[in-house]
Amino acid sequence: MSNETLSAEELGNKLLQSVKEMKEGKAARVSRVEPNEVAEARSKTGLTQLEFAEVLHISPRTLQEWEQGRR
């Protein structure tokens, strides 16, 4: 990934697209997202981890892993 900074909306859209592709079984492309970018995007929405995970159709645990840089 380049050094560009994504807006919360752009990051959310990229995350939603990635989740959709995973569920469809499509080959994954690798995108590096800094953990603080995920947490920052969620924070800008005003949503809790549970609410943000529901919007992305992922588990809260997956979101926690992303925010902590473990996935």
> How do residues 12-64 score in pLDDT, each as one tens digit?
888 888 888 877 777 665 656 676 888 988 998 999 999 999 998 899 999 99
Structure tokens at 34: 């800094």
Ordered by start, the domain boundaries in the chain are 8-67
Residue pointed to by tokens 């590096």: 32
pLDDT of 2 = 46
Cα–Cα distances in angstroms (integers) from residue 15 to residues 3, 10, in the given order: 18, 9
Q: How far apart are CA 36 and CA 42, in angstroms?
A: 10
Q: 3-state class of 49 per DSSP?
A: helix
pLDDT of 18 = 80
HSE toward the beta carbon, residue 48, CA cutoff 13 A:
5
Phi, psi angle pair for 41, to nearest 5°: -60, -45
Residue 4 has pLDDT above 80, yes or no: no
pLDDT of 37 = 86
